[in-house]
Amino acid sequence: MDSGVSLQVNKINAIPKLFFAEAACHGFLPAWSCTNLPEMFTTPETLARLAAFPTISADSNETLIRYAVSRITAAGGRIHTMAGAQPGKFNLLASFGPDTGAGLVLSGHSDVVPVQGQDWQTAPFTLTQKDDRLYARGASDMKGFLAAMLTAAERMESKRLRRPLHLAFSYDEEIGCIGVRNLLLQLRAENFQAQGCIIGEPTEMRVVTGHKGKLAGCICCRGIPAHSANPASGATPSTSPPRWCGRPRRCNPGLPPMARGI
């Protein structure tokens, strides 16, 4: 079983508390708002419900989105669901507090990678606790953060917020960040604004402020057709790629061996 499917119980319970503390420090909430929080669903209880939705990227995420909408609506949030380009795929933006552009976005994706052909020791879509860890497909990446988002939202009253809080749920991150692209395009068209965004990908509870990045390109090689009896009268493009494959090595001699290609 991949260690990425497990989450420590004490860590997932701490996330909403950390959010409240930071929100108070940065003016989103009064300092006293972290006390006397109502007892509702705990974050592990919420995670158990989210993990039960088999939202593999190839399948629909509608049931999970409907569940999130019901929880957020009951907590007094404003709902904005957006249908994706593929049937059964949905993005969701929920908002709490004043309707201004000075808010904070908590963002996570709802899809998970497949489980077929893997040696699972527990049921992948049933949250299972062993010692101090919780196991399920997507428990860490990243339904654990979605559960923390819902838990945090339910524990604040909209009237307490000085600045808005937004929860963003996207689809199909695991196969190319497809859903969030559509989400961002639509929010841009609607002139949506916020001051910051926290993306809850697993980073061992450490803040990561940048991405390693990548450079991708496409090389198109064209040839000149010729009969196999007289190949010299044409040009085959199959000889061009090998020459190009060695160029990253020459241009970047300091790259690790596996990054240099052929």
Topology of domain 3-199 in CATH is Aminopeptidase (3.40.630)
**Among all chains, which residue has been given the structure tokens 């592990």?**
44
pLDDT of 126: 96
> One of 141, 172, 173, 174 is an active-site residue; which one?
173
> One of 111, 141, 154, 174 is an active-site residue; which one?
111
pLDDT of 259: 46
pLDDT of 25: 46
Amino acid in position 251: C
Phi, psi torsion values for 198, nearest 5 degrees: -110, 120
Please give the Cα distance from 75 to 201 (Å, whole number): 25
What residue ranges do the domains of the chain occupy?
3-199, 214-262
* Cα Dmax for the chain: 86
pLDDT of 254: 65
CB-based contact 165:104 (threshold 8 Å): yes
Tell me the per-residue pLDDT of 205-252, one tens digit each, with 9 for 90 and over.
Answer: 888 988 777 777 777 878 888 888 888 888 877 776 666 666 666 666
Tell me the per-residue pLDDT of 20-43, one tens digit each, with 9 for 90 and over.
Answer: 444 544 444 444 334 444 447 899
Catalytic-residue membership of 173: yes
Identify the segments of the chain with pLDDT beneath 50.
Answer: 1-4, 20-22, 24-39, 259-262
Q: Which residues contact 70 (CB under 8 A, 6 or more apart)?
A: none
CB-based contact 143:7 (threshold 8 Å): no
pLDDT of 223: 86
Tell which residue, 40, 22, 203, 26, has the closest CA to residue 108. 203
Catalytic-residue membership of 39: no
Amino acid in position 170: S
Q: Exposed, middle or buried, 159 (CB in 10 Å: 0-12/13-18/19+)?
A: exposed
